[in-house]
Structure 1
Amino acid sequence: AFAREDTLARWSARDRGEASATALETRGGIAVPDAPRPRVEVRRVDPATGRSEVVAAGPIDDFAPSPSGRYLALVERGEGVAADDPLVQLAPTWRSRLRLVDLRSGADWRVWADRDVAANLLDWASGSDRLLAWARPDAGAWRDGDLWLVDAAARTAAPQLRGRLDPLGPDAFDLMTAVRATWMGEIPVVFAARPGQARRDWQAVRPDGVETLSARVPNPTPSLAGVAADGLMMVADGGVWRLRLGEGGRRLTPDDQVFARREARDPYAPQRQQLNAYPARDWAPVFDPSGGLWIVQADGARRRLTGQGGTAAWMSGTADWGVVTRRRDGVTRLSLEGPHEARILATANADLARVAFPRIVDVPHPDRLGRPASSRLFLPTDRPVERIRGVVVMTYPDSGATSGLYEPGVLFQGLNPLLPPGAGYAVLWAAMPDAPPLERAEAYARNIDIALDAAAAAVPGLPVDRTAVVGHSYGGYAALMVASATRRHRAYVSWAGPSEPAVMWGEFQGTERAALSDNLFLLYRAGWAETRQGGFGAPPWRTPEAYRAASPFYRADRFADPVLLITSDRDVVPMSAAEMMFSALHRQGKPARLVTYWGEGHWAFSPANLIDVDREIDAWLDRAFRTSTEDPRSASSRSATSSPSSPRP
């Protein structure tokens, strides 16, 4: 929203004959925008009168009030900082400083002048005005930091770990791989490993030493189902565990009874609240395989509530009742469930009860590396296998194929494999391991071949000679790489797929260009290319051969089959990725279509645009498969091994 306003303001300034420029400098690896970051205010609001007053102002990125209401912790933006080498994808490009404000007296305290505070941890103890934060020295890396206990009343800050624990593990520190820590009463607890060990456990940190709370848990998790003064609740290895001092972890549920934790979360909440916000309770709501809701108490007592079946998720409640969402046959119901009755509070998407959702078949098979994998096949229910129009292969490298995202009634903004079966297609969500940059095109194509062969064996008669490959984001990139490596498939769809990693490495996001003072993602795409999915390990000028080999754009001469390219002007993957690919295919006289959604980001949020995306894909598939369904001979002339640069039959 701010970027849109800034853009409109600059256009208006130009129309009035005024200067409309933005500027950004780099000095010693530090980005310096000409415009300062806008002033942010934190206000205290009286709910009875609606009156508010400013209690803090400045370049504030985050704040957290203490439970007593007396103190306010502020994370403020400091000076710029050069990126680490090797690059970390989501590392901020500025210092973050911690300031505490006494809301009674108005006095404030800048805790450090030479320490950088991590964005993911700002946790107050419930019974005292003491705060946990992770901070590093300005001259050091994040791994050189420590867990600090900040006492607001005493104005003291003391490191807690002093090298006794490693909470980071093998991961580089960024906004997505952060320290996990909270309070067990007045005792700090952190998910960390002992020196020299790979396994991380929940550790209690006390002045007299460190105690491993989850030592007896086979596979402890960084997620906690409950936090109380005398212990933690954790769901792991199919059971509910109690973590207390002196016990090392005690399983509260029988070994032969399997439970899972499914609690709704806000995907748009700040990362800090997603990573380090734990329920304050000494009980845990869990679900059995049938969808039954259970409340497990800290003493091991458990009780099944009255909700019935479906795919369920805990929303809110107490140890006696819960508000739960349950999905069945596409219909979502919000229910109030207690020990004796369940009451439906609201129903969403009731019309979906009349929709015939695809039949889902899990297809186990080894991947191209010989490891066990499982793809998922979605079959239309309105026709026999021999009348299926074609197979749409959806993929995303290194993804599992059985994600709950693809259950009926789950609405999301990406590709939905539940939709093409309604038009008569089968959808194969192909499990696919990633591959090194120099091997990707052929490796991706080979893995799709394996998944298709396994699907054909599982469902005889499946038309695996009439296929298209569809992907979003990194899946869209994979689709383009496959298009350059095989003639097996009739068409391709790439939505938000980065077609040229070297351009992806450095181009700004559309929302950044007009708001350079908020350059959080300045190095996001460079980090993507060098680390994580890109996996190139270095910038383009150090390994140009790898970038070129793994670039669909530089393999455009090998494309032969129709490609639908979908992009958006506010996407983190720049529009130029699709535009360059389209131009390359146009220059060669090869079939392609480019569709741009204005005002959208990496996904489509407008209902009209979501519908239009599906219409575009359906029309593209219809055009690709129409000839093959009318003339079976046209499919027999294609093969999985033919050269992509060979003449089209």
Structure 2
Amino acid sequence: MACRSCLSLVRRLLPATVLLVLSACSLALSPAAASPQERSKGLTLDALLKMEGLGEARFDPTGRWLVFERIRPYDAYPDYSYRTHAFRSSGHQVWRVDLQAGTDPELMPGIDPSAHAWIESFSPDGTRLAVTQYRASRLSLSACEMETGACKAFEPVPRTDWTGEYRPVWVSEDQLVYTALPAGQEMAQASLRAATGAWLTKTWAAAWRGDTVTSDEVRTRPPVTSSESVAGQLVRVDARTGETDIMAEGRFADLRPSPDGTQLAALAVSGPLPLDPGRLQAAIPRRHRLVLFDLEAGTQEQLADGKDFAAYTLAWAPEGDGLLGFAWEDGSGPSSGRFRVIDTATGKLTTYTHSGLDLASERERGFAMRPERAVFLGKDIAIFARPVPTGHESEALFTPKDIGEAGLARSDWYRLSADGTHEALTGDLDHVSGVPLETGRDCFLIQAGQGLYCMGSDRRRKQLISSASGDLRFVPAGSYSTYGALSRPDPGGGALVEASKGEASAAILIGPATRGLPETMSVKSPAKGAAPIAGSLKGAAALFRVGSRAGAELLLVREGADTRGRPLARINDHLQDVAFGTWHSVSYRLEHPGDASVAQDVASCLLLPPNTTEVPLPLIVEVYPGTVPRCEPRTPILSYPNPNSPYLWAGRGYAYARIALPRDYIGTEDGPIAGMDEAVDAGLDALLATGHVDPDKIVLSGFSQGAVSALYVAAHSHRFAAIIARNGWADLTSHYFGPPGIYSILDPDYFGSEFIRYEAGAGSEFSLGGSPFEDPGIFYRNSPVLLAPDINAPVLLMHSDMDSFSMEQFDEMYSALLRAGKDARYVRYWGEGHGPSSPANIRDMWTRFDAFMEDVGVMPAVAGSTPE
């Protein structure tokens, strides 16, 4: 298309309020010549299902052993029952390398090769490795001898979640302490689908035999905090003898051994069961009481009576004589919380009131609504906070925050004394991180734009690494019980930081901050684009991952050895010749639907299929509330076998778009997504102006929260040839009152938990600020099930019986479309969770996509597109 005609098209298609920033001409012109790689085929489903992966990696404390997770080809998994979907988080195997002997990598011999297995943690001296395994619907914790590879699996099933609250901890070289699930609740979240299926099968059979009562009862309860302990056990297991000792009855979170290993601090959990941490939290009251265990005497003592602690905020003083945590008075809540220090010898509690400051929340960077970790700084503590708003100078605040919330004032590290006085420690630094990388007796280590600094207890600040070394990026060490996501390292293990400068990079290995400044060592990257994923100062080694398109390789580099690195693993060579297509950023100005005077520049992302020579193309438009997409100018890297991948659409010849839907611009007084159709229309106008898209072959697609969004937009915009909605909900009222799918079958405490999505003041894309009792009209007006008569395009609905969103929601939506006389298809997958995990069902899903596209005239017939 000529540049002149491009500009003409822009003028015809774009309204005056939409300014196209990207040059449409540069998008429309065909490349002068295609490389052999560009001429290769796009991503196929067969290729995706053969994908392997790499997980966590860890050096032991002595630097002798390296362990890493390698993920099997997806179509070779032993089973697909893990959680509510199997891809990305299962299929792992643990491999070990003896750096001292220089042996080749091998599977840990004592682990069941048919199990999914994940790294948990090394013992203090590195002679043992804790490993979590999942096999035959059962989760277990094991301790493996590094010398022999022999593993002991422990019977009590561990309680786990991604928040880090239930991490197993080593209290000696032989002994491991963890929270176990109560008898009868061994299903845990990991085996929820399989456990639910087994329970239903057993219960149905009992009812059909006629000899067993199969009823249960759910009762409402007043919203008061219960002091009754949540069921579970705190167990200590001996990796040498295999013996199990029950230390206490009940559930315990945030296990923290003292520096000398003689004591264990923990939070006893009481009250109704909390909801699954991967879902929105309902405001069900529960308490966390601070308990101190004497590991030698076998006794326990409750500290800080009348205080409710936030889990994952406990920290020991370097000398082992005090505990720091964030807590509030009974009957209040986190917003009134204060950091407290407890003298473990006397039980004396000191409150540190942060008047004039608003504590920064971990939620701001995508995790839980709890303060960033505080650390000891001599007799004072250091906290991460920002000044309170004008007019609140005398208040100590901890206000709710959203993920990536805009407009927040900068946060800094502050020294806070017991008398309430405070001083900024980092006010002259840029881009200060709220994550302490290491803490010790004399300083704690933080990252800022100018480099890495040790903040001293003597009020001195020492620069450890300068930003002249390159752009610095902290590399967290993950585990099964934290999923590598928390980025809150525990003290004493050192840290790993990547320094990149142009095309060169290095791994900066940082030792424990025991006394004085921690030691450091730099290990150069072995190849362009290689990124460090694990390091050992004692072993003088770093493990790098280098990616090439969807393939990847692990390279071990040791100080003074071959700088090219020693290859340890290589995956996905079969994807090296796949052309994934190219992403383009399409920028435009988006007006606020409720106020035309308010606008912002946004960008939607357009993926063009490989070897694009014919235009215009059919387009898949993906919507999800709150999306602010980042386009990939580089060659895409597929990190896991995602059956929902946009590259599968590109491989079939479709253009694919992620539309910018910032939360502030899709919500109006009419509803939280009431302005989404206008935002989608603006994005479509900009995409059409590129000349790549066929306006008659645009398909709107949404998954999960995007499903209800797509159905809502389809009722308010008629620019789509077809609609695909998968694994979401459709009726806000019945969703508000209804059960959260599979979660309520085995656990009645989940009933009524979806209300928080609509009443939450922060952290929800669907907040309506109230209940259907107060304003039923707004629930009705925003429910796609009641808007079915306004949907004119053919609809493909897909859902699963074991999803966290009840499949009954789409039963309703299909019935509404049926009664409204609309063209609809409804596919239900049995035994699946949040979308299909089974390779057979994944193949079926894509076969049905092909058949649907052919049927509605968006794409010509594809071989094998007729579902069985």
What is the TM-score with the length of structure 1 in the denominator? 0.83
Is the contact between residue 338 and residue 353 of structure 2 (CA under 8 Å) also seen in structure 1?
Answer: yes
The answer to whether residue 329 in structure 2 is matched with residue 137 in structure 1 is yes
Are residue 269 (structure 1) and residue 481 (structure 2) matched? yes
| Partner residue of 2:221 out of 11, 14, 27 | 27
Distance 1:272 1:30 in 2: 35
Match of 1:327 in 2: 547
Deviations 1:241-267 (A, max 9, x none): 41514467969534795444454645x
Distance in 2 of aligned mates of 1:171 and 1:585: 39
Consecutive unaligned residues in structure 1, runs of 5 or more? 631-649
Distance in structure 2 (CA, Å) of the matches to 1:514 and 1:210: 50
For 1:563 and 1:25, how far apart are their aligned partners in 2? 39
1:643 equivalent in structure 2? none
Q: Which moved more, 1:377-386 or 1:536-545?
A: 377-386
1:362 equivalent among 585, 588, 591: 585
Aligned with 1:189 (options 364, 382, 387) = 382
Which of 527, 539, 548 aligns to 2:756? It is 527
- Aligned to 1:418, what secondary structure does the other structure show? helix
**Match of 2:181?**
none
Written as runs of structure 1 = structure 2, the 5 A alignment for 1:185-584 is: 188-196=381-389, 198-207=409-418, 209-237=421-449, 240-245=451-456, 246=459, 252-254=465-467, 257-261=470-474, 263=476, 265=478, 269-270=481-482, 274=486, 276-278=488-490, 280-281=493-494, 284-288=497-501, 290=503, 292-295=505-508, 303=522, 305-310=524-529, 312=531, 314-318=533-537, 320-338=540-558, 340-369=563-592, 370-386=599-615, 388=617, 390-402=618-630, 407-411=636-640, 413=642, 415-434=644-663, 435-436=666-667, 438=670, 443-458=675-690, 460-516=691-747, 519=749, 521=750, 524-531=753-760, 532-584=764-816
Q: Matched residues in 1 for 2:573 and 2:376: separation? A: 43
Structure-1 residue corresponding to 2:308: 116
Residues 527 and 564 in structure 2, CA contact (< 8 A), matched pair in contact too: no
Q: Distance in 1 between matches of 2:274 and 2:242?
A: 43
Return the alpha-carbon distance in structure 2 between the equivalents of residues 264 and 593 of structure 1. Answer: 45
1:297-318 CA distances to partner (integer Å, 9 max, x unpaired)?
7799884612323474624444
| Superposed displacement of residue 165, structure 1 | 4.1
Q: 1:302 to 1:431 in 2, by over 3 A?
A: farther
Q: Distance in 1 between matches of 2:525 and 2:687?
A: 39
In structure 2, the partner of 1:639 is none
Single out whichever of 72-81 and 371-380 deviates more from structure 2: 72-81
Q: Residue 65 of structure 1 corresponds to which residue in structure 2?
A: 257
Deviates more, 1:20-29 or 1:307-316: 307-316
CA–CA separation in structure 1 for the residues paired with 2:477 and 2:782: 38
**Cα displacement (A) at 1:51:** 2.8
8 Å CA contact 1:491, 1:562 repeated in 2? yes
Listed one character per residue, the Cα deviations across residues 536-561 of structure 1 (whole Å, up to 9, x for unaligned) are 01111212222122211121110111
Deviation at 1:590, TM superposition (A): 1.4
What amino acid maps onto 2:713 in structure 1? V
Is residue 146–residue 162 contact of structure 1 (8 Å, CA) maintained in 2?
A: yes
AA matched with 1:22: D
In percent, how many aligned pairs have the same letter? Answer: 23
1:147 and 2:370 are equivalent in the alignment: no
Tell me: CA distance 1:223–1:490, structure 2 relative to 1, closer, same or farther (3 Å).
farther
1:189-236 deviations in Å (ceiling 9; x for gaps)? 322234447543223334464332322233433334444444444445
The CA deviation string for residues 513-566 of structure 1, in whole angstroms up to 9 with x for no partner, is 23336x3x5564211112221120111121222212221112111011122222
Once residues 824 and 620 of structure 2 are traced to their aligned partners in structure 1, the CA distance between those partners, rounded to angstroms, is: 18
Give, in angstroms, the shift of residue 583 of structure 1.
Answer: 1.1
**Offset of residue 392 of structure 1:** 0.6
Name the counterpart of 1:642: none
- 3-state SS of the aligned residue for 1:143? helix
CA distance change for structure 1 residues 522 and 453 in 2, over 3 Å: closer, same or farther? same
Distance 1:189 1:150, change over 3 A: same
Q: Deviations over 1:290-341 (max 9, x none)?
A: 4733428779988461232347462444484322333221002222234533
Query: Compared with structure 1, are the counterparts of its residues 604 and 447 closer, same or farther at alpha carbon in structure 2 (3 Å cutoff)?
Result: same
User: In the alignment, is the contact (CA less than 8 A) between 1:99 and 1:110 conserved in 2?
Assistant: yes
Tell me how far apart the structure 1 counterparts of residues 635 and 267 of structure 2 sit (CA, whole Å).
38
Q: Distance in 2 between matches of 1:516 and 1:310?
A: 47
What's the CA shift string for 1:11-56, capped at 9, x where partnerless? 3543453222222222333599xxx988423332222333332222
Q: How far did 1:368 drift?
A: 3.4
**1:398: Cα distance to partner?**
1.7
Quick check: 1:311–1:328 contact (8 Å CA) kept in 2?
no
The answer to whether the 8 A contact 1:264-1:313 is kept is no
Cα distance in 2, alignment partners of residues 229 and 356 from structure 1:
53
- TM-score, normalised by the number of residues in structure 2: 0.64
CA contact (8 A) 2:798 2:828 kept: yes
Code of the residue aligned with 2:710 in structure 1: it is: A
Task: Give the SS at the match of 2:383.
Answer: strand
**Cα deviations by residue, 1:441-494 (Å, 9 ceiling, x for unpaired):** 663222223223323334x34324311111222222221111101221111111
Report the structure, 1 or 2, having the larger helix content.
Answer: 1
> Match of 1:491, as an amino acid?
A
Bigger mean CA deviation after superposition, 182-191 or 428-437 = 182-191
Distance change (3 Å), C-alpha of 1:29 and 1:289: farther
Contact map agreement 1:243 1:250 (CA 8 A) in 2? yes
Does 475-484 or 502-511 show the bigger shift?
Answer: 502-511
Return the alpha-carbon distance in structure 2 between the equivalents of residues 283 and 262 of structure 1. Answer: 5
1:11 maps to a residue whose letter is: W
Question: 1:26 aligns to what SS in structure 2?
Answer: coil
Aligned equivalents of 1:249, 1:554: Cα separation in 2: 63
Residue 635 of structure 1 corresponds to which residue in structure 2? none
- 1:82–1:614 CA distance, 2 compared to 1 (3 A): closer
Q: Which runs of 5+ in 2 are unaligned?
A: 1-186, 391-408, 511-516, 593-598, 863-868
Q: Secondary structure at the match of 1:314?
A: strand
